[in-house]
A = this chain, B = another copy of it.
Amino acid sequence: MTIREVSEQFGLSADTLRYYERIGLIPPVPRNKSGIRDYDGASLSWVELIKCMRAAGVGIEALIEYSRLFQQGEETLEARKALLMEQRRQLLERMEDMRRSLERLDQKIERYEQNLVPRERELRGQGDSP
């Protein structure tokens, strides 16, 4: 699979795909005899994993570390698991932040919905509240 096809399939630019590989986030992708990338199943699953994790806000550094550990083989199983669990923890934290913000947004929107805005006017003079 060419870089263009992968790019289209995953919605990541070819530049981004090459970038990911350059920085060691994705292990070296196989090449054909003229040096052109030819993504195989393993490379594709890396791309898919990375895309998913990045979309969740997992940092590049952590993913590079995971990739590095993976390429070192089985003696890093424990370390990999620990890394994943730490990322999971952080992910839950971010989700909780978002849940709180969502609640707050919903309240604000509801206030706008009810035109419960006179409250706003009462506050003027002592400064406005958002």
Q: Interface residues, chain A, CB within 8 Å of chain B? A: 27, 30, 40-43, 45-46, 49, 52-53, 55-58, 66-67, 70-71, 74, 77, 80-81, 84-85, 87-88, 91-92, 94-95, 97-102, 104-106, 108-109, 112-113, 115, 117, 120, 123, 126-130
B56→A112 contact, CB < 8 A: no
Min CB–CB distance A104 → chain B (angstroms): 6
Copies of this protein chain in the complex: 2
Which single member of B67, B94, B99, B128 contacts A70 (CB below 8 Å)?
Answer: B128
Alpha-carbon separation in the docked complex, A102 to B99 (Å) = 15
Using Cβ atoms and an 8 Å threshold, which residues of chain B touch A109?
81, 84-85, 88
